[in-house]
Structure 1
Amino acid sequence: MKRNSYLTVGLTVLTLVVIGVAVYFVFFNQDDLPVIQEPTPFTLTNALNEETYDSDNGKVKIVTFFYTNCPDICPLTLRDFMKLEKELKKENLYGSDVELVAITVDPEVDTVPVLKNYGEAFQAEPTGWKMLTGDQVDIDRITRQLQFYYSKANSGLVTHATTMYVIDRHHDVRAVAQMATAGDEPVDIESIMEDVKVLANEKE
């Protein structure tokens, strides 16, 4: 009986070890940045150079949505974009490997001249910062695919989500972040930069 007990205990320990190894590989050895969403590429107008912008360009992107009449969250977020621009330049990634992409959800108001002036107010350098507008139907398709909610009221104010997206070279969403908030909570630049550097180092 004692011999069988030892055998049972041994098998139990072995089973627990196997389960532990399996759990490790399933939960701790996964890709740190798995694919979250697979939006299709899009083309919009880049107001900073008045040219067509094609998102299927093999670059990593930090994507945010905004509108120029936003009283709080959007300008705070774009101020943090300015900080991201500086960090990306330090890493020699700005424009060459990584782009900052800001898409208006109010294209009726945010025409090319309006967006160009708005971008210049944030010192957006066109080599790596894209201020995009286009047809409402195209913008709606992008927001639907990214599950980004927004709704425009008769007053002109837009209620919108606060999600930002980190998109890899293959146009897959690999990470999300939160926009700045009126409560002085800035964009988590350090975390975004960590994700961006991982994706920039991936092969195309």
Structure 2
Amino acid sequence: MKRNSYMTVGLTVAILVAIGVASYFLFFKEEDLPVIQEPTPFTLTNALDGQSYNSDNGKVKIVTFFYTNCPDICPLTLRDFMKLEQELKANDLYGTDVELVAITVDPEVDTVPVLENYGEAFQAEPTGWKMLTGDQADIDRITRQLQFYYSKANSGLVTHATTMYIIDRQHDVRAVAQMATAGEKPVDIETIMEDVLVLAAEKE
């Protein structure tokens, strides 16, 4: 009898442990990409097609900030955007479910014609890549909400943060990544794609 009791207790403990482990992983799976920020939607001009762009369009977005006179980090990051474009195309997500969004922080210089030429240098396809400019006040509102720091010097150089944002279909920030670092690390495309695939699978 004692042996049977031990077996029963052991089986019960094993079941409870299994349930606990399953619950643990289910809970943390749901919390893998929590809402980090809730920025309001914005409207800017997409220089690649000359059209007004509204970010509240039900698509997942990988958002970076840049300026065309940037000597290092920005062009390196946009080169990695080219790789992300190919990854998104390979997963049949480019433009339909996921967009690459690059917003200038120097709209005084980065006018629509300037950005149009700049986008051509990166072979940016406008179906899924948005290169945005607009009023400084509108861009400042976006950067404040995302807590993205930048400051323009009299020389024209801009000191800026290196955070990129992965935004879900409801326009919430669910993950962040880092821009490329000159001479060090490229954009972590693999991790970004993992997050994007999770968010793309979520219903609107």
- 2:102 — aligned with what? 102
Q: Which runs of 5+ in 2 are unaligned?
A: 1-12
Distance 1:35 1:193 in 2: 18
* Alignment-derived partner of residue 116 in structure 1: 116
Corresponding position: 1:155 with 2:167: no
Report the alpha carbon displacement of residue 29 of structure 1 after superposing the two structures with TM: 5.0
Match for 1:49: what amino acid? D
SS at match of 2:74: helix
What is aligned with 1:81? Answer: 81
Write the distance in 1 (CA, Å) between the matches of 2:69 and 2:148: 18
Please report how far the alpha carbon of residue 189 of structure 1 lies from its aligned counterpart in structure 2 after TM superposition. Answer: 0.2
Q: Kindly tell me the number of residue pairs found equivalent between the two proteins.
A: 189
Structure 2 residue aligned with 1:179 = 179
- 1:36-75 equivalent positions in 2, closer than 5 A: 36-75=36-75
Task: Provide the C-alpha distance between the structure 2 equivalents of 1:119 and 1:30, rounded to a whole number of angstroms.
Answer: 37
Q: Provide the aligned C-alpha RMSD in A.
A: 2.0
Aligned-partner Cα distance in 2 for 1:72–1:117: 18
The secondary structure found in structure 2 opposite 1:45 is strand
| Runs of at least 5 residues in structure 1 that lack an aligned partner in the other structure | 1-13
Q: State the 1:49 CA deviation.
A: 0.3
Compute the displacement of 1:26 (Å): 9.8
- AA at the equivalent of 1:32: D
In structure 2, the partner of 1:137 is 137
Bigger drift between 164-173 and 24-33 goes to 24-33
Question: Cα deviation per residue 1:59-95 (whole Å; 9 max; x = unaligned)?
Answer: 0000000000000000000000000000000000000
Q: Are residue 34 (structure 1) and residue 30 (structure 2) matched?
A: no
How does the TM-score come out when normalised to structure 1?
Answer: 0.88
For 1:167, the aligned partner's letter is I
The runs of 4+ residues in structure 1 deviating greater than 4 Å are none
State how far apart, in whole Å, the 2-side matches of 1:71 and 1:176 are: 23
Q: Distance in 2 between matches of 1:29 and 1:186?
A: 27
Amino acid at match of 1:132: L
